[in-house]
Structure 1
Amino acid sequence: MGAVIGFLNQKGGCGKSTSAVHMSCWLCRKGHKVQLLDADAQRSSSIWLESMEDNPIPATVLQSPDELLEQIPELAKQCDYLIVDGPAGLAEPTRAILFRADLAVVPCQPTGLDLQSASDSVRLIKQAQSVRGGPPKAAIFISRAVKGTKLLDEAIALLGKTKEVTVLSTVIHNKQAIADTFGQAATIWDLPGRPATDSAREYERLFKEIMGMVP
C-alpha cells in the first residue's frame, strides 16, 4: 500500500495546492507511481493537473468525510504515493484525512494570522495522533516567505517551540514564477529563468526533507 501524504491548512493562500501538485509531479519524475486526491472545494490541484499536457498523474476529487475515510486506503493501494490536497477549514473532511494519512504537512505563511491558523491545524493533528495511537507523523514548513524580513525570523523562532510537529528547515520564498505555474499549466521545473531555477531548488530540498519523514 502506498504512503499517504496530506497537505493541510485551514487557511487558503498558503501554498497548499501548489505544494501538493509540485510534490506529485516531483515524485512522478523520480519514477514513482503517484495519484492525487483533491479534497478542496476549489478543485485547484485537480484542474491544474488535468490542464497539463502528457500528465500521467490521475486525480480524484472527493469531499465528503465518509468518502475520504473509505476511499483513501483504496486509492493508496493503487500507487506508491497518494498526495492529498486537503480542504480549507478544519471540519470533518480534514479529520477524515488525518485518520488515514501517514504524514500530514502544513504549509504556513510567516504572518501572525497564518501562524495562529497553523497552530489550529497542529491541534487537530495532535487529536488524530491521540486517537490513532501514533500516526500521522507531522511536519510544518514556511511558504510564501519574503527574504530578510523580521517577520520570517520571528515565525521560524515561534514554530521552533512546537514540540509535536517537525519544523522543516527549507523555506519556500514568494516568487512570481511560482504564481505563474497554475496559469501556464506547468510546474516550476517547466519554466525558464533564474527565479524558476531558484524555486525549483527550494522545492527539491523541501520534498527530500518530507520524504525523509515518510514512514
Structure 2
Amino acid sequence: MPIISFCNQKGGCGKTVGAVHLAAWLHRKRKKIHFVDADPQSSGATWMSLLSSQIPTSKITDANELIERLPELAEQFQFVVVDGAANTSESTRAILCLSDVSVTPIQPTGLDLHSASEAIRLIKSAQKITGGGRPRAAVFLSRATKGTRLKEEALSLLSQIPDVKLLKTAIHSKQSIADCFTQECTIWEMKKAEDSAQEFEQLCKEILGLLK
C-alpha cells in the first residue's frame, strides 16, 4: 500500500509536524497506519509515543534497513508515513525511491526557498531511477504569515517548479501548532485552534488526493 514521505534537507521547515499530522489524520479515518521516523533526532517517534492514538511506529535511519523494511511495512499496512531526515543522506535517497508520494514543506523565506531546490533535485533523481514517475512530488507552504508579500512571492515561485504540484493549502504560523508537542496531542485536540485544524484537514485531503 502507499508510502508517503515528508522530505527536506532544511531543518525546522515543518516536516515532522506535517508527517505526524498526516498519520494522525489517517488514523482518525480508521486507516491502518505505520509511522516511520527516519530522522536521527527521533522527534516524530517521540511525538507519536505521546499521542493517545498509539499508532505503530518504527525508528529506521539506516538506508539499507529502509530499503528492506519499507516495502514489508507497505504490504502490512494501508499507509506508511515517513518522516525523512533533515539531510541529503543515502537514507533520504532510499526513502524517495520507495515512496509513492513525497511532500516537501517549505517556509516562505529566501533561505528556505533556495534550500528547497536540492530537495526537488533529489526527488527528480529518484523519479529517474524508478522510471515510473514515482514518487509524485508536491510542495506546500509551511509556517506562512497571512497577508504578506513574502507569502505571495513564495507561492508564485513554487508554482513555477516543473512537474511538482504546489498544494493549494498553506499552513500558517500559529502558537497552537507549536504547542501540540508539549501538549501531547495534534492540532485537532487543541482548544481554540479551529483555523489551523481546518488547514491541516485540507492539507491531508490534498495529499491523499495525490494517490488517485
TM-score (norm: length of structure 1)? 0.96
Q: What is the identity percentage for the equivalent residue pairs of Structure 1 and Structure 2?
A: 50
State the partner residue of 1:82.
Answer: 80
After TM superposition, the structure 1 = structure 2 runs for residues 167-206 of structure 1, keeping only pairs within 5 Å, are 167-193=166-192, 196-206=193-203
Q: Tell me the equivalent position of 1:39.
A: 38
Q: Per-residue displacement from partner, 1:130-165 (whole Å, max 9, x unpaired)? A: 111121101000000011111101100111110121
Counterpart of 2:116?
118
Q: CA deviation at 1:56?
A: 3.0
Report the residue type matching 1:19 in the other structure: G
Matches of 2:190 and 2:123, distance apart in 1? 35
* 1:93-132 mapped onto 2 (5 Å cutoff): 93-132=91-130
Structure 2 match to 1:60: 58
User: 1:172: how far off?
Assistant: 0.3
Return the alpha-carbon distance in structure 1 between the equivalents of residues 129 and 155 of structure 2: 29
Q: In structure 2, what residue type is equivalent to 1:171? A: A
Q: How many residues align?
A: 211
Once residues 211 and 87 of structure 2 are traced to their aligned partners in structure 1, the CA distance between those partners, rounded to angstroms, is: 24
User: Could you tell me which amino acid in structure 2 is paired with residue 46 of structure 1?
Assistant: A
Q: Deviations over 1:91-117 (max 9, x none)?
A: 111000011000000000001111111
Runs of 4 or more, structure 1, over 6 Å off, are none
For 1:52 and 1:159, the matched residues in 2 are separated by 33
Q: Secondary structure at the match of 2:160?
A: coil
Instruction: Give the whole-Å Cα distance in 2 for the aligned partners of 1:187 and 1:43.
Output: 17
SS in 2 for 1:144: strand
The equivalent residue for 1:213 is 210
SS of aligned partner of 2:35: strand
Distance in 1 (CA, whole Å) between partners of 2:149 and 2:40 is 34
- Structure 2 gap ranges (5+): none
For residues 76 and 56 of structure 1, what CA distance do their matches in structure 2 show? 18
Inter-partner Cα distance in structure 2 for 1:162 and 1:52: 36
Amino acid at match of 1:155: A
**Partners of 1:78 and 1:175 in 2: CA distance:** 36
Q: 1:20 offset after TM fit, Å?
A: 0.6
Unaligned runs of at least 5 residues, structure 1: none
Per-residue CA deviations over 1:153-210 (Å, capped at 9, x if unaligned) read 11001111101210001000000000000011100010111xx110010011111111
TM-score, length basis structure 2: 0.98
User: 1:4: which partner in 2?
Assistant: 3
* Cα distance in structure 2, aligned partners of 1:49 and 1:189: 15
Q: What is the rounded CA distance, in whole Å, between the counterparts of 1:52 and 1:136 in structure 2? A: 29
Give, as a single letter, the amino acid of the residue that structure 2 aligns with 1:97: I
Aligned mates of 2:194, 2:88 — CA distance in 1: 34
Q: What is the rounded CA distance, in whole Å, between the counterparts of 1:117 and 1:74 in structure 2?
A: 32
What is the RMSD of the two structures over their aligned residues, measured on CA atoms?
A: 0.8
Three-state SS of the structure 1 residue aligned to 2:172 is coil
